[in-house]
Amino acid sequence: MKINQVAPETTFFEGDSRGIIIFHAYTGSPNDVRSLGRSLNNQGYSVLLPLFAGHGTTRPEDILATGPALWQKDLERSVRVMIDHGCSQLAVFGLSLGGIFAMKALETYPELIIGGGPLCSPIVPESKTNIVPSFKFFAKKLIEESGANDLEKRQRLSDIELSLTEQLSEIKEFTTLVFDQLATVTQPTLLVQAGKDQMIDPQDVYLMEKALVNSLTQVKWYPESGHVITIGPARQQLQTDVLTYLNGLPWK
């Protein structure tokens, strides 16, 4: 198997002309979805695991310096990369935040992208999440690991809290736009949700299903998994279910 690096930490696994893009989670990296990507590549699919701008560094501020507009450009760039690699049809998935962009891709490229879906994604804009405490924990850990003194630590965390509020507002606005366009999705979709998800309300997957009025939806529920389902106890079952779904798409 030939493996090509197309950007720092963005990985392309070469396969046939059937292309799969899998976006990672907020504060995460392609490592979140690498095992899923490898499993699909082992079955012949070409797989791209993009790195969202600002992610994959040791500074939480780098994420907050970016946002949905740049991540949308990452989506568009990823589609071009797959076309350049000879992929004539695509399916797009995403974990958590990545799932919002997967659905955006389905809305934007209805002829090129023939399927896909979100994995444990906060796509219902008004729903409550635990993203704020999760990001603060993530930021505190990285700052402590950087060796910052107490004064610097307090100042950085204070600045991060302000920037986080602004960015989450931007993400919510973007999410609302995506959610409001779900009725335009006509491709079959796979909606994956973990029953023990503590980041988002697991029941939101059914609100998303209801909004996808013109899509043939499949909901896959994993009762024992947590939010990062791609590395959880059901990861092998998830890989099997995603592969079964993909094999049922109308690839040419």
What is the sign, positive or negative, of the torsion defined by CA atoms of 157, 163, 164, 165?
positive
For residue 24, which of 10, 38, 43, 13 has the smallest C-alpha distance?
Answer: 10
- Catalytic one among 39, 78, 96, 215? 96
Catalytic: 197?
Answer: yes
- The helix/strand/coil state of 249 is coil
**CA atoms 200, 201, 203, 206: torsion sign:** negative
Q: 197, 204, 215, 225: which is the annotated catalytic residue?
A: 197
* Burial per residue of 101-111, b for 16 or more beta-carbon CB atoms within 10 angstroms, e otherwise: bbbbbbbbbee
CA-to-CA distance for 205 and 212, rounded, in angstroms? 11
Cα–Cα distance, 186 to 127 (Å, whole number):
24
Residue 179, both tokens = 């959610």
- CA pair distance 99, 121, nearest whole angstrom: 5
Pairing of strands 18-23, 46-49: parallel
Catalytic hit among 78, 204, 215, 227: 227
Q: Is-catalytic flag, 84? A: no
CA dihedral 87→38→197→201, nearest 10 degrees, is: 0
96 catalytic residue (yes or no): yes
Identity of residue 209: E
Cite the active site residues.
96, 197, 227
